[in-house]
Structure 1
Amino acid sequence: MGDNPELRAVMKELGLTRPDLVLMVNRELLALGCPGTLTVRTVATWLSGQSRWPQGRIRTALERALKRTPEQLGFIPPYAAQPHVPPEEPVLRRNFLAASAAVALPPAISRGHAVGHSDVDRLTASLKTLTELDDHRGGNGSLEAAALAGANHALSKVECTTSESVQKRLYSLAADYTATAGFSCIDDRRLDSAEHHLETALRLAGLGNDHVTTLRVFNCLSMVGFQRNTPLAALSAARAAQDARATRRDPFLASLAHARTAIAHSTAHDRQAALRCLGRACDALGRADGRERPAWTTFYGPAELAALSAVVHQLLGDSAQSESASHRALAGIPPQFRRNRASATARLALAQLGQHDIEQAADTATGVYALMGADPLPPRLRSLLGDFHRGLITLAPDSPVTREWTDRVHAQGAHQ
């Protein structure tokens, strides 16, 4: 056992810190259909020589990330593996879910290992990586598959412990992973798949006695109802989120539930109820403290509440108030929540269009493409821009602004 100067040299050459390398490898793991489970601690064992040969999927992801073979990175294959190492490439072509469920195991957990709280913590860190990717790019099939693989992996560990508390945490984590898959499908506008995942997540949350994830699931089901334009379904799910035990324990979560209920009421054109729920959301958020919460909640705060308020006012026909709320949202949504910033920008464009300010509206809507860069627009975001496009054509069909916007949409579509 000894130092690994080759890996140190490559990292120095590329200007990589240990966290940088962890992020790169975890991204490649997600691209391969595996949860991103690499940690800084594991990288430290590589650099110290304590770990001489990374496990299969991580080894493949490391090779892809650094464009070098494991041997070029200073790793030494074990004797038993050298003569008959099966090629990785056929494995990469396997069905994603089968491969993930079978082999996407973090380095610290072997099949004979008694799972404890520290193991659950490592699996939770992988979920945080998925959440960050969703915040940046939006939902897609790859993210959904990676989340389901994480859920399957957590469930596969339930039988590896006799601790009731660890088992409940594993069920809770599987529920959170599955809800993440459901939310990804909402963003991807695959609503039947979303409902299926969310129903599974609700069952797992019950097994884990997880009231926060229960609230999350009902919040997402309300979003499904909104996307389907079924106000009663959206309202029923939103009310279930309001009634979840987590809202009685945490004003922050209560605020989110009230805001979602406000959108459901506005979909049904119940102005008084919608505005009343918005007021409750603001009051509850003002009472929230800084306690630790799951990674999926990090998107929410005063700026996101303003973004949801913009939706409510738009649905109620209050374009000026919707514009004002959208500006507040964009002033506060952090840059890492790129998808949410793009969504708030699209809502701002719709609010400006509702006031017949077509030049400003078209200029604002163009900013959505600038925010998302070369990444494909999530279908939910594309749907918002579709609403804007149809509204612009209806309002000013012969305007040069409309023709220019239409040409821009066609040009962007050719590059998506």
Structure 2
Amino acid sequence: MTSSKVTSSQPCRPPRPNLAFRRLRGPRSPAEFAAEVRRAAREIGEQVSCDARYVGRVEAGEIRCPNYAYERVFLHMFPGRTLADLGFAPRSSVRGRGARTTTSAPAPAPTGDPDGRHHDHEESDVLRRAFMTGGSATVATASLGPLALAPDASAARRPARRAGSSEAGALEEAVRRIRLLDDRHGADGLYRRAAAPLRAAYALLDAGATRQTTADRLHAGAGELAISVGWLAHDSGRFDDARSHYAEALATARVSDDAGLEAHAFCNTAFLARDTGRPREAVRAAQAAQRIARPLGSARLMSLLALREAGGWAGLADRTGCVQALARAQALFERGPSPADPEWMTFYGEAELEGLEAQCWSALGDWPRAARHARRAAHLQDPHFTRNIALYTAELADDLARGGHPDEAAQAGLRVLELLGQVQSSRIQTMLAGTARVLLPHRHASGVSDFLGRCGGLLRAG
């Protein structure tokens, strides 16, 4: 793959300093900032050898556009921003489309760039994951398997062949099946098994495609699969892994110029930020998703994204911002479904709307209102979505407990414990453990002692 630091193509143009990037560095020294870049790279499984000299070259404008590895890291460090926001030139202005079809052997460093060889080994396609050990398109397709959850393949590397429509179809089916199993059983038992099809998906991209339409399907499928695996990590409490997978999906979306995938990645990034105590990032990511999704024509998608924003405002204790976002979400939802709604949004119905609103009111400390919406969510949910029924009922139990209704909270908690025989979700277990701790002072109330006794393992684990 050719180097992205094409400074020799316009030798007469002096470099223009990258002032935006310099502002983002702030008061940190180049060496301190380089250390942060390396740390951020490790968080998402990327490998870069950033040092003070590299930072200086970026700020001096010598590197007009970073390679894909650095792109992923910078977008991870500054969520919601584009390369243009970071002061870089469009990739199309520094490398031609033909670069995508070059061989995997790195090109020599441009003349006059003695540091090029140092960074060429980092010039990996954004779709080549650090943990991917190889495998051809044939092995990749086999790994997707009928259930898309086959064990990791250990076959030796074989010559790759270009992927066709059958491989793209297998990838799309893998995404559907993983989502189906998650809906029924939760994430804990699926996450590690889903790693193999994810590696297979990126192996398909690495092998290339026979047609551009197939390549587009592969990019979209790989990105959606990265989001699905990220969600499995998210729901099972592996937040760093989830953040990495969502960043992978976001990078894939931007490489393939896929607005729908980019909006989806930002949507999940906002949800994760809210769940990990970064509400302001949740607001920013949700707002970025709305800007991207607006031209797509799906009122239901815009409704969900408004709810993601509402969750961020609730985490910031901004009741006004939350209420305004909730009102937008409700109004957009009432416009009804449309052919423009993404396939992944099948989970988003009235039950999810009620459940997410319940979470907002809970974050704002309005327990009666939160319990009212959580109860409606559990009642409205399609029985197919077992995990969501357990989630909404766990939310109801916690809201009732904090709102001073220990007996009703215990009854709801016992219903969740029954569902946990079918559902494996660390998130739900963590919620139940929190509810149990709230109910400890009421252990003599009707039903509470039974609930606490059955929650003993969860309490010890928490």
The 5-angstrom pairing of residues 79-228 of structure 1 reads: 96-99=151-154, 112=161, 115-140=163-188, 143-158=190-205, 159-228=207-276
SS of the residue aligned with 2:191? helix
SS of the residue aligned with 2:146? coil
Distance 1:402 1:327, change over 3 A: closer
Counterpart for residue 368 of structure 1: 416
Is 1:406 the counterpart of 2:452 in the alignment?
A: yes
| Structure with greater helix share of residues | 1
Q: Deviations over 1:236-290 (max 9, x none)?
A: 2222222223565211110110011111101111001101111101111122334
Structure 2 gaps, min length 5: 1-141
2:333 to 274, 285, 289: 285
SS of the residue aligned with 1:229? coil
Distance 1:247 1:257, change over 3 A: farther
2:434 to 376, 380, 387: 387
| Separation (CA, whole Å) in 1 of partners of 2:381 and 2:334 | 17
| Separation (CA, whole Å) in 2 of partners of 1:170 and 1:252 | 25
Residue 214 of structure 1, CA deviation:
1.5
The 5-angstrom pairing of residues 183-332 of structure 1 reads: 183-245=231-293, 248-291=296-339, 293-332=341-380
Contact 1:195/1:221 (8 A) holds in 2: yes
Distance 1:403 1:120, change over 3 A: same
- What TM-score does the superposition give when structure 2 sets the normalisation length? 0.63
Q: Deviations over 1:286-315 (max 9, x none)?
A: 223342655431111111101101111111
Contact 1:36/1:129 (8 A) holds in 2: no
Q: Deviations over 1:97-127 (max 9, x none)?
A: 4549979xxxxxx965x64335422321221
Alignment root-mean-square deviation, CA: 2.9
| Separation (CA, whole Å) in 1 of partners of 2:209 and 2:420 | 43
| Separation (CA, whole Å) in 2 of partners of 1:145 and 1:269 | 36
Structure 1 gaps, min length 5: 1-32, 40-56, 62-95, 104-109
| Separation (CA, whole Å) in 1 of partners of 2:157 and 2:342 | 27
Distance 1:280 1:374, change over 3 A: closer
Instruction: Tell me whether 352-361 or 290-299 shows the greater mean CA deviation.
Output: 290-299
Residue 36 of structure 1, CA deviation:
4.0
Contact 2:237/2:426 (8 A) holds in 1: yes
| Separation (CA, whole Å) in 2 of partners of 1:185 and 1:400 | 36
| Separation (CA, whole Å) in 1 of partners of 2:352 and 2:155 | 34
Distance 1:209 1:288, change over 3 A: farther
Distance 1:213 1:171, change over 3 A: same
Counterpart for residue 144 of structure 2: 35
Distance 1:358 1:196, change over 3 A: same
Residue 405 of structure 1, CA deviation:
2.3
Q: State the one-letter code of the partner of 1:371.
A: L
Distance 1:388 1:175, change over 3 A: same
Equivalenced residue count is: 319
Residue 210 of structure 1, CA deviation:
2.2
Instruction: Tell me whether 255-264 or 207-216 shows the greater mean CA deviation.
Output: 207-216
